Chain A
Amino acid sequence: EDQVTQSPEALRLQEGESSSLNCSYTVSGLRGLFWYRQDPGKGPEFLFTLYSAGEEKEKERLKATLTKKESFLHITAPKPEDSATYLCAVQAVDQFYFGTGTSLTVIP
């Protein structure tokens, strides 16, 4: 069964304290893995697309990496404005599967 699991469910960090979010997946025919950020009451905002194992993408304090079974979203020296829910999604053939997200809170 195709599925996406994110961990941890919630994460509290002090400002400047780096950490990583995990997304593990079991999908037949992976077409791509995507990271989104979602603020409360809003639609998800696209961050990254990763297509193959070993690929890395960076944007400001965020860096996404992909292996054959999981992806990591590394957050370096986070700021309070990075507080949000981070969603991982995979595309398998013509289906999209989203994880339930990691709720990140960055404390000043």
Chain B
Amino acid sequence: DSGVTQTPKHLITATGQRVTLRCSPRSGDLSVYWYQQSLDQGLQFLIQYYNGEERAKGNILERFSAQQFPDLHSELNLSSLELGDSALYFCASSPTGLRSGEQFFGPGTRLTVL
């Protein structure tokens, strides 16, 4: 158990809908990262937050947005969902925002868009 929690574990929804994925980092970790993992593309970095501020942005679509709250938990919002958004979404956390390759991953949220 990494100490990172993600909810829900599974999510099934329809195209065009909007969903929110939630992540609670390990106690004391200030950075939160979001990743998308699909069978054909592997693990794709989406976005990083550090102590409430956006720190780095990867290949995150404009339909997706994220935020980190004062209690350090984070939410990833996915809107206007498409079939291709079906994937595993992982959240990870680390103590700092620099040289933070040692990330602790949560169990993931499996999103299925029908």
Across-interface contacts of B55 in A (CB, < 8 A):
94
Do A49 and B101 have beta carbons less than 8 Å apart? yes
* Residue B14 is within 8 A (CB to CB) of chain A in the complex: no
The answer for the CA separation of A32 and B101 in the assembled complex, in Å, is 7
Do B48 and A99 have beta carbons less than 8 Å apart? no
Given A43-B108, A98-B45, verify A31-B56 contact (CB < 8 Å). no
Across-interface contacts of B44 in A (CB, < 8 A):
98
Across-interface contacts of B45 in A (CB, < 8 A):
95-98
* Residue A45 is within 8 A (CB to CB) of chain B in the complex: yes
* Residue A26 is within 8 A (CB to CB) of chain B in the complex: no
Q: Size band of the A side of the interface?
A: 20 to 34
* Residue A101 is within 8 A (CB to CB) of chain B in the complex: yes
Interface residues of A, Cβ cutoff 8 Å to B: 31-34, 36, 41-46, 49, 51, 87, 89, 91, 94-101
A-B contact pairs, 24 of them (CB 8 A): A33-B101, A41-B108, A43-B90, A43-B105, A43-B108, A44-B43, A44-B103, A45-B105, A46-B101, A46-B102, A89-B43, A89-B101, A91-B101, A94-B48, A95-B45, A95-B56, A96-B45, A96-B58, A96-B101, A98-B43, A98-B44, A98-B45, A99-B42, A100-B42
Interface residues of B, Cβ cutoff 8 Å to A: 2, 4, 33, 35, 41-45, 48, 55-58, 90, 92, 99-108
